[in-house]
Structures are given as structure tokens and as C-alpha cells.
Amino acid sequence: MAPTPKTKLAKRATVLEEAPEKVLQAVIVADSFNRRFRPLTLETPRCLLPLANTPIIEYTLEFLALGGVEEVFLYCSAHSDKIKSYIKSSKWSRASSPFEIHVIYSPSIMSVGDVMRELDNSRMINDDFILVSGDIVSNISLQAVLQEHKARRLVDKNCIMTTVLREVSPNHRSRPRGENAIFVMDSKRERILHYEPLKQSPPTERVGVPKDLVKANPKLCLQENLLDCCIDIVSFEVPPLFTENFDWQHSRKDFLHGILMDELYGKTVYGHILKTGYAGRIQSLQTYSSICRDVTNRWTYPFCPDSNLTEGHTYKYTRGHIYKEADVILAQSAIIKENSIIGSGTKIEEGTVVQSSTIGRNCFIGKNVTVNSSIIFDNAIIGDNCVLGKCIIAGDAHVSSGSVIESGAIISFGVEVEKDSRVPSTAKFTKYTTSGTEHVKTKTLNEYEDSEDDEEEVIETSVSGLRAIRAPSDSGSDISDIEEELGAKKKHKRSNSESEVDSFAREAYHSLLGALKQNHSVDIMILELNGLRMSANAEFNDVRRATASAVISYIYSKITPADAVDKIVDPVIEKLLPLFNRMIFDVSDQAEILGFMQKDLAGKEKGGAILQTVGMKLYNEDLVDNDGILTWWNDGNGPKGETEDMKKVREATSQFVKWVREQDEDSDEDDEDEDDEEESDEDD
């Protein structure tokens, strides 16, 4: 993947030779754009959920402060009012804050890609910046990473990103299940050459590495043991790239994969592999619970409860990783075992055993309760004789006496659990309803069901206890589509793989058609199409199908009875030549695209004429050769289920085909030459 500057994109890469005392900027994406923390995130944004009794965003901000960041842009979408008011009242908004913080609310943000596009529009970025999500917990030194990135930028001007990767063992508890990927790196383990996300279910069995990559690099390093914590040092050239590829959503699946797959950009991405330090991202409930443990066990030092990051906290450390705030009332026979955190005002009654749990402020825990590995938010009430497993009990929830909450259950804000009930591990209770009115029942308000028979989740339960809800990849932001969410999510998920391709075809069709109508340059169309193809992992025949449909419907919309068909068709095809060049590789492709066009034109007025003109034009431009046309013609002749309409269209081109056939017989050698030329075209 030699950096071959090809388009004006590359020209944009004006690297600043030296950055004299520029303000170090960071962008926080405070929205997770998925629903893994439902139903908790129905009421609170994920970044304000407490992690070891401190809002998650605090860890991210402290991390940035530690790294010497001087300006922070915090983008939020769902629950933006809550985030805004939180930040406003926090120490970060005061003059003493180590950085200036701007909370930017945009309801249209649905993905990281949108944030980057907003960022590009805002023109607030003037140098390389740090891109993190609002749920990072880390104590690494950003300065070291930054210095390395800057030094690299001076050498390699095409380096647009350095991503921080932490080496961890494969079965590490803090690795997000289902979020892993293979990084193909160069022999020095610096440059990332290829990125391939791994699917959890069905497990990815093969990973394709582009042939060229292997040719160009005799030594490759494939690593799966890297924890991608989504801390990126991003060059200021990246937001414009997102603007140009307006379909890029995900910073990894789309952007990283896209940039690396497409030589067109000629950009390079580097990885900073950490061997020490802590870096984790709360991506799922599973990582939430494990990172909570990490914080308690002081892996994230100095960001531990007894550092009292939030003002007003008074945690004190006692041996065994037990943290207690002032004014905790413990009955004499209550036992607090290791790895526990207890907030102030909490009262724990006789005979209760608390282990490896986080308990918020002003909670009440009754007699003879067993709390093991639970996370309990502020103001919760747990009745006598309850047994709590590895569950989450949100604020103001009331678990009546005698209840058993199994591992994996989530009791959201304000829910009351009836006496002596048994909450299964799959239960997710919430009081939240779409209408906003609260049911006041005693038990099981909107039961938030998930696919219980989902194998993947069963696996995760056994691994971590807290289930990671796998969200559909195309899910929106935290708050959207609540009704749908409360309904059956299962089906949505199951149909994921098919719908992705369908949606690709639809999106590609619309984007191309739109581009044609607005007379965009063909380069942009290519970029768009490529991005779409990669994000949907679509095949080339899908691309051809979409292109054929788009081109035909564009042409069709232009056709007027008065004009000659070829006057319309010729300029369009001519313009789109580079596009066709990138999707037609061999004879069968040629036949296929003609077939698609035929299908689209079936039953339309002048269909035959259009098809003939297009075919001729393609033929003249060497995009389609004799073999291609004949293959298509002959295919159609076979029993391929050609409808009457389609047949009609095909018949109209018989004259052209006949002529082609004659040509073919004349000169076979020419064909080969043309073939060669075509191939060489594709290579660059």
C-alpha cells in the first residue's frame, strides 16, 4: 500500500512542520450510539452512570487533564440536557479547570461519523487532536503518545491517526466481548496495515488479508491480543475525510477499515502499543462490571475511589480494597469483605455480608442480606434477607425483603421489586415508559426482555455474569426508537445480516442517484460507494446492481420523447467511466451489469433503445468487450427466468449484438489486448 497521492484529498495533507505551542484539543463523544445499557440509559446517559460511585465521564475528563489537554469539545446527543447541566455545575467549568470545556449538543448526531462531520463544519480544530469516547477509564500518559505521533508526522506526512492499543491476554476480563479485531501491523509493530473486526456470533473463522499487503510486506504481524480502547490521536485532516464520506459512521469499522482498504487515500495509521498502564473503555455491561472491579482493585490508580475525584466525596481506603465514605453506618455484625465501596449515609443492618460490591450513597440494606458483586446506585433500598448476585440496582430502586436477584439482572431507576420475588438473570426492569407517565405497580413494570435463547449471551453470562447485550450494529443513539426497542428486538437482530446487504443496495442506489442529480464529481461517487460497500461488507455484484439501477433510473428520468437517446446516455456514461472501471473486472462482470440494466429497463418505454445505446457506449469505451456482450446475450438465451418484458428489451439490442458478433469473429487478438488494458487500469 504505497502512498500514492492520487486525488485532491492527498493534496490537502499539508502537514504542519512544527506546531509551536498550540492548544492541545480533545474531542469527547459522550454518546455511545448503542443500547447496551438499556434500560438504564433510558433515564440517564451512559457517561453519567456511576462507576465505583463516580460518574464515568469524570474518569475520562481526569484522564484528559492528566494528559495535559487544554481544550475539550464534548459532543452529546441523547440526554444532552443532563450532561450539559452536569458539566456546568462541575469543577470542569470553573476557572481552575485544567482545560476549557465546550459542551456541544446536536440532535442529529447518530454516530462518531456525524460528530466528525460536525467538527469539520465547526472549524474549531486547528491541529491534531485527541478523540475519545465519554466512557474511557485510563491512567496512561498521553504526552508520550502525542510526542510519538508528532515525531511520526514529521517523517510520514500521510500519517493521519495514532491509535492507542493495550496489549492484554486473550481472555482478560476487561476485554469487551464481541468487540475484538485483528490488527495487521508491519514488522516493527508500529503501522497498522489492515483492520479486520471479529464477530462474536457466528465466530469469525477466517480473516482475509489483502494480497497486495502480503506482497508489499514480507513480514506482517497479526495481533489479536490488543485491546482497542478507542483513544485516538487524530490528525486535523480526518474530519474532512468524514465529510467526504458521509456514510462513514463507526470510527473503526468504517473509517479505519475504509482508510486502510482504499489505497486511494494513501493515508497511514499507526498504533501505539502499550505494555504498561491502564486503558479501558466501558463498551458493554460486561466491561462495566470488570472495569468497576479494576477501579476498586487500583489498576486505574490514581483514579481510585479514595482519590475522591468528585467534589464532596470522602472515601477512605482500608486494607483489602475496601473504600468507605464518612457517615457509613454499619451494624456490628455486618461484614464488609474485600473490594467493596460504600457511599456516605448508607446503612447496613445486622448480619449482612457485602463482598466485591459497590453501594452508593444513602442506601439502606436490611438484615441478613447477601450482596455479592452487585452494583447498587444511590438511594436504593434492599429489604431483609435478600440475596443479590452480580446485578445492577439503579437509584431509588426498592428490592423488597426476601427477594433473590440473580446475576445479570438489571433493576432500573425507581423500580420496586415485590416481596419474595425471584428476579431471573435475564430480567431488565424499568419504570420508564414512552409516554413518560410512570406506572405505579409493585412488580415488574415494563419487563425489558431480551432474547434469552441467544447463544452468544449465554456464553457471556458464563464468562462475566453481567450479560453484554449485543446491540444491532445499525442502532441509533441512546434514546431513539424506544417503542421499537421495548418491542421485540430479537427479530431485528436475526435479520441483521440480510438487511445489511439490502440496506446497502438501497443506500448505494440513493446516494448515487443523488450524486448524479446534483452533478457531483465522479471521485466523490466512488468514495461514497466504496465507503458504503465496506461498511456493509457488500459484494461487488451488489455494487454493480446498485450502480446499474441508479444509472438507468437517472438516464430514464432524463429521457424525453424529443431527444435522441444517445445524446442523453453518452455524456452520462462517459462521466461515470472511472466508476464502472472500478467495478467491472472480467467478462462475467460485464455480462452481469448488462443483465442488471436489462432488468431495470424491462417494461419501460424506449427500454430497448436505451440499453442498446448504453451497451454501445460501454463497448466503445472498452468497458465491455465482445465476450462480455456475447456472454450476456447467451446467458439471457438460457433458461434464466427472463420475463417477457426483459426479453423485449433484449430483443431490441439484437442488431447491436449481431454486429458485435461479427466483430468478434473478425478479431480475437484485439480482445486480448483490450483485456490487458483493462486490467492495468484497475491496478492503480
Partner 1 sequence: MVADENPAALAKFLKVANTAKAKDLTEILIGLLKRRQIKSSRNVAKAVAKLLLRFVSQNKNTKLSEVNGLIKDVRELGRLLVASQPRELVIGNIVRRVLGVIREEGNEENLHQSLADLALGGRISRASSVGDDSSAYSNPNSGTVTPASNRPFSRDGRDHEEDIDDLSRRKSKVYIPNLGRGLTRVGSFQAPNPSFSEGNLQHALFSLLNTSPLPIDSPGTLTPNLRPEGREPALDDKDIRGDVIDGIKEIMEELDMVDEQLAQQSETHIHSNEIIMVLSSSITLQTFLMKAAIKRKFTVVMVETYPNDHYATQEVLKSSRYNKSAPKPGKAVPPPTPLTPLTPKDEPMTPAEFKNTLTSMGVETILIPDSAVPAIMSRVNKVIMGSHVIMRNGALITNSGARTVARCAQQHCIPVVVVSGVYKLSPLYPFDPESMLETGDSSAVVGWEDGDMVGGTEIFNPTMDFVPDSLVDHYITNVGGYTPQNLYKLVEEQYGSAVDNLE
Query: What angle (nearest 5°) sits at the alpha carbon of residue 661, between those of residues 659 and 667?
Result: 105
Residue 30, class by beta-carbon neighbours within 10 Å (0-12 exposed, 13-18 middle, 19+ buried)?
buried
Sheet holding 341-342, edge to edge: 316-318, 322-324, 341-342, 358-359, 375-376, 392-393, 410-411, 428-429
Amino acid (1-letter code) at residue 383: G
Burial of 637 (0-12, 13-18, 19+ CB in 10 A): exposed
Minimum gap (Å) between residue 234 Cβ and partner 1 = 24
By beta-carbon proximity to partner 1, the closer residue of 278 and 504 is 278
| Beta carbon nearer to partner 1, 9 or 137 | 137
Provide, rounded to whole angstroms, the least separation between the CB of residue 343 and partner 1.
17
CA angle 213, 250, 133 (to 5 degrees): 115
Of 146 and 525, which has the nearer Cβ to partner 1? 146
Strand partners, 186: 220
| Nearest distance in Å: CB 186, partner 1 | 22
The rounded distance, in Å, linking the Cα atoms of 580 and 546 is: 12
> To 5 degrees, how large is the angle CA 105–CA 107–CA 109?
90
* Smallest separation, CB 503 to partner 1 (Å): 37
Rounded to whole angstroms, the Cα distance separating 434 from 414 reads 16
Q: How far is the CB of 531 from partner 1 (least distance, A)?
A: 34
Nearer to partner 1, 229 or 552 (CB): 229
Question: How far is CA 103 from its chain centroid?
Answer: 22
Nearest CB to partner 1, comparing residues 214 and 326: 326
- Grouping H, G, I as helix, E, B as strand and the rest as coil, residue 544 is helix
What percentage of the chain's residues is helix, strand, coil (to nearest 5)? 40, 15, 45
The residue behind cell 449485543 is: 470
Least distance between partner 1 and beta carbon 39 (Å): 28
Closest contact distance (angstroms) between CB of 302 and partner 1 is 4
Give the cell for residue 227: 485491546
Residue with cell 490487458: 676
**DSSP states along 58-92:** HHHHHHHHHTT--EEEEEE-TTHHHHHHHHHHSGG
Grid cell, residue 79, equals 440526554
Toward partner 1, which CB reaches closer, 337 or 606? 337
Cell of 122: 465547526
Residue nearer to partner 1 on the CB measure, 278 or 633: 278
Whether 426 and 420 have beta carbons less than 8 Å apart is answered as no
Write out the H or E segment, with its range, that includes residue 96. Answer: none
Of the pair 62, 349, the CB lying nearest partner 1 is at: 62
Per the structure block, which three cell numbers stand in for 455?
447463544
> Which C-beta is closer to partner 1: that of 26 or that of 594?
26
The answer to whether the beta carbons of residues 631 and 590 sit under 8 Å apart is yes
Taking the least distance from each CB to partner 1, the nearer of 55 and 595 is: 55
Closest CA to 662 of 630, 631, 632: 630
Give the nearer residue to partner 1 in terms of CB position, either 320 or 578: 320
**For residue 60, what is its C-alpha cell?**
475520562
> Least distance (Å) from partner 1 to the CB of residue 233?
19
Q: C-beta of 373: minimal distance to partner 1 in Å?
A: 12
Cell numbers 475525510 label which residue? 241
Minimum CB distance to partner 1 smaller for 290 or for 653: 290
Burial 406-426 (b: 16+ CB within 10 A, else e): bbbbbbbbbbbbeeebebebb
For partner 1, give the closer residue by CB, 36 or 166: 166
CB of 293 to partner 1, least distance (A): 9
Q: CA–CA separation, 451 vs 428, rounded Å?
A: 12
* 245, 31 contact by CB (below 8 A): no
Closest Cα partner for 56 from 374, 327, 377, 366? Answer: 377
The radius of gyration of the chain's CA atoms, rounded to the nearest angstrom, is 29
Closest distance of CB 71 from partner 1, Å:
16
**Any idea what DSSP says for residue 478?**
T
Which of 280, 366 has the CB closer to partner 1?
280
CB closer to partner 1 out of 66 and 577: 66
Distance CA 367, CA 384 (A): 5
Closest to partner 1 by CB, 62 or 247:
62
Whichever of 297 and 372 has its CB closer to partner 1, that residue is 297
DSSP 349-410: -TT-EEES-EE-TT-EE-TT-EEES-EE-TT-EE-TT-EE-S-EE-TT-EE-TT-EE-TT-E
Where along the sequence are the contacts to partner 1 (CB under 8 A)?
A: 62, 65-66, 91, 94-96, 98, 139, 166-175, 275-278, 294, 297-299, 301-303, 307-309, 314, 316-321, 338-339
